[in-house]
Amino acid sequence: MSADTPNLPAEPGSAPDPVVRGVRTGMFGPHQGGDTSGYGGLVAPIAFPGAAVRPYGGYADEIADRLEEALTRRGGASYVDSVQRVTTHHGEMTLVVRREHLLSVVRALRDEPSLRFEICSSVSGVHFPHDPGAELHVVYHFLSITHGSRELRVEVSCPDGDPHVPSIVEIYPAATWHERETWDFFGVIFDDHPALTRILMPDDWPGHPQRKDYPLGGIPVEFKGATNAPPETRRTYH
């Protein structure tokens, strides 16, 4: 089942059944290099929360209402066109957003007085190699201090063959570090990022180490002749 396929429960407000997208073998599901975790015989379903139906509960309904109003007032894509589905799990709300509408949704979340999510606390990547057309996911965590520390998760996906997602750095400047890390480890290209370079791995490191298809172990690493160059001679970000 693809990321675009919702799993609707029968009754509004009822707990949605999970969506099983595959089976994971071992602790981390590697497909090359063997499983070095000691859990190679573990088999578990890959289950995701199903799409919720209103009432969501808590402040989730208010967030959905205010976001729909804001997007309508601002013009452009509507709420229905922008948000693929909503999930609620353990009291946490996730908006699954189409990547082409990510910036308009995120800008409304930050600027709309009734929403006012001032802080983007995290941007992270996830790799689902058996999710056709949506192998790479990017997850954003937002926090609203204005509205009593409300939390919200936003998720977008992109295919492995077109790993592009708009950068939100123009809206949340501190996300620059998180987007660089997601590029470094997962290979997601954040369009219009001011300096999309590796942040933890060496500049010439092959591949993206947190993808499921990256070998666990067996990577030859050799450090020789290492020097710490003066700051003025290091790479520039502009």
> Is a pLDDT exceeding 60 seen at residue 238?
no
CA distances from 63 to 12, 56, 139, 222 (A): 17, 10, 18, 51
pLDDT for position 1: 39
> Is a pLDDT exceeding 70 seen at residue 3?
no
- Pick the more confident residue, 22 or 99: 99
Read off the pLDDT of each residue in 91-119 and give the average, rounded to a whole number.
Answer: 96
Residues 16-56: pLDDT tens digits? Answer: 788 887 787 777 666 555 566 667 778 888 888 889 988 99
CA distances from 78 to 65, 81, 122, 133, 165 (A): 12, 5, 26, 23, 19
Compute the mean pLDDT over every residue in the chain, rounded to the nearest whole number. Answer: 86
CA distances from 153 to 156, 195, 218 (A): 10, 25, 36
Q: For the domain with range 51-218, which CATH number is right: 3.40.50.2300, 3.30.460.80, 3.40.50.720, 2.30.40.10?
A: 3.30.460.80
Residues 131-183: pLDDT tens digits? Answer: 899 999 999 999 999 999 999 999 999 999 999 999 999 999 999 999 999 99
- Pick the more confident residue, 7 or 92: 92
Give the separation between CA 145 and CA 110, rounded to whole angstroms: 11
Domain boundaries, the chain: 51-218
* Cβ-based neighbour number of residue 74 at 10 Å: 13
Residue among 37, 3, 44 at smallest CA distance from 23: 44
Tell me which of 46-55, 61-70, 122-131 is least confident.
Answer: 46-55
Tell me which of 86-95, 111-120, 178-187, 189-198 is least confident.
Answer: 86-95
Residues 223-232: pLDDT tens digits? Answer: 666 666 666 6
